[in-house]
Structure 1
Amino acid sequence: MLVTAAFIGPGTVTACASAGIGFGYALLWALVFATLATAILQAMAARVALVTGQGLAEAILSAAGNPALRWVMAALIFASLAIGNSAYQAGNISGTAAGLKLLGLHAAHPALLALATGTLAAMMILIGKPAWLEKLLIALVLAMSLAFVGGLAVIEVDWLRVAGGLLPQLPADSLFTAIALIGTTVVPYNLFLHAASVRGKFAADAEGLAASRLDTALSVTLGGLLSMAIVIMGAATAKLTASGAGPLDDIALRLETLFGGAARSVFALGLIGAGFSSALTAPLATGYVLAEMIGGTGDPDRRARIFKGTALAVVTIGTVFAVLSVNPVQLILIAQSANGLLLPILAAFLLWVAARKASLGEFANGPIANIAGTAVVLVCAGLGARLILRSAGLWP
């Protein structure tokens, strides 16, 4: 559930709502691909962690024998997590604050709501125990699941058009949004978070690995279905009058127009659950990875200090940007597209480690896993390359 809590954040809600409002059901296929890709990569990350007894960053850097290659890998991992997650955190905190406003706290200044959200997240990271935090995250995931699925249940949906959206297509000007949908689902930091959190929960044997795969498949499928529900909500309400304030406000207004204030409140609760769960998991993932990379193996106290210091730094940076009222919507979409560009590189690192018999022995990737992982890397790389070429004017 940590994985679901991490990738269903305000960024996901924003990207999915924007996709539904702007392109109807046409980009649902991107979420189907992203959900399958996430399940494949997360299962690999969990297997690497369980078999090697290391976090994913540790396993990748340990497998790189060349010091220069190790530095390049470390830089890419740091760039995709520390920098990206700080940008995401601003969106997580702003999204939680937006949900609180939609819930009825209109009188409170957005900066105060953002500051309160950031402070609460910092306190929970500072004093919270892992088991307690995990239970809180599961509760938040269940709350947003009920909210978004409940919202979908009362909307009139054209299910034939939904089925048509499962066929790959790219309407005009939709490539950026399609990559953002993939980038908000196949989240690089989730690979590292999953690897860090799964150790000790499953045995490093065939039975434990099978249980881990089932756990991953169920959680990722739930997250993918929630993302699709938000796209469908945006598409099904797109013809109604919009507020013009942004996709989150637009969906809230349209739901209120259709079903009254209760529907707006349900959507707000889902957004709060999405925002606050991600406001906890993004700093946790960054803290885990930096502690693995520079914390050493012989001093648990030093690793704990690096972990908490890094996590609190991510919360602080995100809170500052949120308090300064930096508009998170474009920032989130750009960060997700950047994630989509970095993803093939990090996925290739993961695929390389998961296929190494020197690291995983009998549990290394077989032919089917290698083919599936390679397909994910190639599709993500192709979409990212096309975006770069279009930005440079080299692709129509």
Structure 2
Amino acid sequence: MAAEPQRTPAEPSTAPNGRLASSTRSTLLGAMFLMATSAIGPGFITQTTTFTVQLGAAFAFAIVISILIDIALQLNVWRVIGVSGRRAQELGDLVAPGLGWVMAAFLLIGGLVFNIGNVSGAGLGTNAMLGLDPKLGGALSALIAIGIFLSKRAGVAVDRIVVVLGLVMIVLTTYVAITSGPPVGDALRNVVLPEDIDILAITTLVGGTIGGYIVYAGAHRLLDSGISGPGRVRDITRGSVTGILITAVMRVVLFLAILGVVTGGAALDPTNQAASAFEQAAGEVGLRVFGIVLWAAAITSVIGASYTSVSFVTSRTRTSDRTRSLLVVGFIAFTSLVYVLIGTAPTTLLVFAGAFNGLLLPIGIAVLLWVATRRTDLLNGYRYPRWLLVIGWVAWLLTLYLAINSVRPVIDLFA
């Protein structure tokens, strides 16, 4: 993976009145929501529900701390990739020959397996929403995702779809949160004075929000849209922080929706706690709303996982948009076929994929922080802020903890 020249956007980033040009606003929104909706997948919903049931209002503290850590990491990832004008794996190869291919291999393996889970989630969403057989629903959802990437303006289509579905998830989940009547005061108090501090919950949330391909989704989308270089730092920073905040909003409203049901004394179905909570909060309508939210979370994760995984094995300048789209289509088709044939990703494969994603996170973050610290020649003359480096390296230490935890299940598998 040789270093590639920076690509200049086709039009100015600002309009004559000093505001962002409409195309730049659309691109930034798309990158923000691609990162956010990639994080908000079926696993995101399951994790949030499980920890809310376990910790109650005290889970609010874990959410806030994880958001701060996510922002520290994403600020650095987006800034280094955006300012350098190079994808993460390209920077990896410049730091140490062959390292970029190692990063790509890890991410591709994890992306393939987890995308089977994403298609599975889409199938379960259509089942709750329309009563369709999950395999049929998963296959139809995959066809919709494929249709998006086969459209003539696939990039624009992706940007618009993830924004619309991201907003749909937030609005519908907010409706359920209002209906369930959560104790907001207790949640706010626990942000400052937590009744219980669960380190596992914090590390799990960080890994689920920016683990694997997710941490690179928005930044790579920004590059492919031509937004890069020191002159775009303001746009890059805005995109990275807003993307995490969008994810945070969804996490908070989902937490409140489940919290209201749990504190109300309702007994949730252990086989599907999230669906049961939505149904308890709003009856039959709640169950259908859950189906829509789960489907939207799953299909946007299918789009994000496929797009980002392919971006790690293609060239931004030497691979045509059409070729890239066809590779994404092949990625979706393969993972969907596996799901239809076996029903879901085998547990063993999911454990391995989790380990690969856990290992990739500290490797990838370390590469980018090393570039910002020691390879400033790759930053096109940009002077990297010292404060940003400090919070980046501190947050990186947590990714090491995540990596250790992700390897343990693999060891247990062979024990």
TM-score clears 0.5: yes
Q: Deviations over 1:81-132 (max 9, x none)?
A: 21111122122111122121111x22x3221111111222223223352012
Given the alignment of the two structures, is residue 59 of structure 1 paired with residue 91 of structure 2, yes or no? yes
Paired letter, 1:121:
A
The 8 Å contact of residues 179 and 337 in structure 1, kept in 2 or not, is answered as: no
Q: Which residue of 1 aligns with 2:178?
A: 153
1:115 lines up with 2:134 in the alignment: no
Q: Distance in 1 between matches of 2:205 and 2:227?
A: 31
Q: Closer, same or farther in 2 for the Cα pair 1:225/1:198, shift >3 Å?
A: same
Contact 2:371–2:378 (CA under 8 A) maintained in structure 1: yes
Among 219, 224, 232, the residue aligned to 2:243: 219
Please name the residue that 1:381 is paired with.
Answer: 400
Q: Is the 8 A contact 2:125 2:291 kept in 1?
A: yes
**How far 1:251 moved relative to its partner?**
2.7
The residue identity in structure 2 corresponding to 1:110 is P
Give the superposition deviation at 1:210.
1.2
Distance 1:300 1:384 in 2: 32
The TM-score with structure 1 as length reference comes to 0.82
Asked if 2 retains the 8 angstrom alpha-carbon contact of 1:40 and 1:373, the reply is yes
CA distance in 2, matches of 1:329, 1:234: 26
Size of the aligned set, in residue pairs, is 374
CA deviations on 1:52-108 (whole Å, 9 max, x unpaired) are 3222222232x22xxxx43244213321x21111122122111122121111x22x3
2:111–2:306 contact (8 Å) kept in structure 1:
yes
Which of 267, 271, 294 is the matching residue for 1:245?
271
Alignment match of 1:273 (pick from 291, 296, 302) = 296
Which residue of 1 is the match for residue 332 of structure 2?
315
Match of 1:13 among 41, 45, 57: 45
In the TM superposition, 1:326-341 aligns within 5 A as: 326=344, 335=353, 339-341=357-359
Could you tell me how far apart the structure 1 residues matched to 2:401 and 2:187 are? 25
Structure-2 change in CA distance of 1:49 and 1:341 (3 Å): closer
- Distance between the aligned counterparts of 1:255 and 1:49, measured in 2? 39
Cα deviation, residue 9, structure 1 = 1.3
Q: What CA deviation, in whole Å up to 9, does each residue of 1:17-57 have, x standing for no partner?
A: 12212332434444333323333333333333333322222
SS in 2 for 1:260: helix
Query: Deviation per CA, 1:140-195, whole angstroms, max 9, x where unpaired?
Result: 111111112222122222234423543698979x6655433211111332343323
CA–CA distance in structure 1, aligned partners of residues 383 and 338 of structure 2: 42
**SS of the counterpart of 1:290?**
coil
Q: Structure 1 residues 109, 143: CA separation in 2 closer, same or farther (over 3 Å shift)?
A: same
Partners of 1:357 and 1:340 in 2: how far apart? 27
Equivalent AA in structure 2 for residue 372 of structure 1: I
Q: Which AA in structure 2 matches 1:274?
A: A
Report the Cα distance in structure 2 between the residues aligned to 1:286 and 1:50, rounded to whole angstroms: 18
Kindly state the Cα deviation for residue 290 of structure 1 after the two structures are TM-superposed: 0.5
Q: Secondary structure at the match of 1:154?
A: helix
Residue number in structure 2 paired with 1:98: 124
Q: Which region of structure 1 is more displaced relative to structure 2, 275-284 or 231-240?
A: 231-240
Note the 1:1-396 alignment, pairs <5 A: 1-61=33-93, 63-64=94-95, 69-79=96-106, 81-103=107-129, 105-106=130-131, 108-127=132-151, 129-163=154-188, 165-166=190-191, 177-199=201-223, 200=225, 202=227, 204-206=229-231, 208-238=232-262, 239-246=265-272, 250-292=273-315, 299-301=318-320, 305=323, 307-323=324-340, 324-326=342-344, 335=353, 339-355=357-373, 356-385=375-404
Q: Counterpart of 2:379 in structure 1: which amino acid?
A: L
CA distance in 1, matches of 2:212, 2:383: 21
State the AA in 2 paired with 1:146.
V
Task: Kindly provide the CA deviation profile for residues 269-297 of structure 1, in whole angstroms up to 9, marking residues without a partner as x.
Answer: 222211111111110111111103xx8x5
Is this contact kept in 1: 2:146–2:329, CA < 8 A?
A: yes
Indicate how the Cα distance of structure 1 residues 350 and 168 shifts in structure 2: closer, same or farther if over 3 A, else same: farther
Are the aligned partners of 1:49 and 1:56 in contact in 2 as well (CA < 8 Å)?
A: yes
Structure 1 counterpart of 2:3: none
Over 3 Å counting, the alpha-carbon distance change for 1:37 and 1:201 in structure 2 is: farther
- The one of the two structures with greater contact order (alpha-carbon pairs below 8 A, sep at least 6) is 1
* Rounded Cα–Cα distance in structure 1 between residues aligned with 2:288 and 2:357: 31
Write out the 4+ residue segments of structure 1 that deviate beyond 6 Å after TM superposition: 167-172, 327-334, 389-393
Q: Which amino acid aligns with 1:253?
A: S
Contact 1:25 1:162 in 2 (8 A): yes
- 1:316 counterpart letter in structure 2: A
Query: Where in structure 2 are there 5+ consecutive unaligned residues?
Result: 1-32
Query: C-alpha separation between the residues in 1 aligned to 2:251 and 2:327?
Result: 29
Q: How much is the aligned-residue C-alpha RMSD, in angstroms? A: 3.2
Given the superposition, is the C-alpha separation of residues 353 and 194 from structure 1 closer, same or farther in structure 2, using an over 3 Å criterion? farther
Give percent identity, aligned residues only.
Answer: 19
Q: Determine the C-alpha separation between the residues in 1 that align with 2:306 and 2:189.
A: 38
- Give the Å deviation of 1:135: 0.8
Gaps of 5+ in 1: none
* CA distance, structure 1, for counterparts of residue 75 and residue 267 of structure 2: 42
Residues 7/325 of structure 1: CA separation in 2 closer, same or farther (3 Å cut): same
Say whether the 8 Å CA contact 1:291–1:304 is kept in structure 2.
no
SS at match of 1:70: coil
Relative to structure 1, the CA distance from residue 36 to residue 264 in structure 2 (aligned partners, 3 Å threshold; closer, same or farther) is same
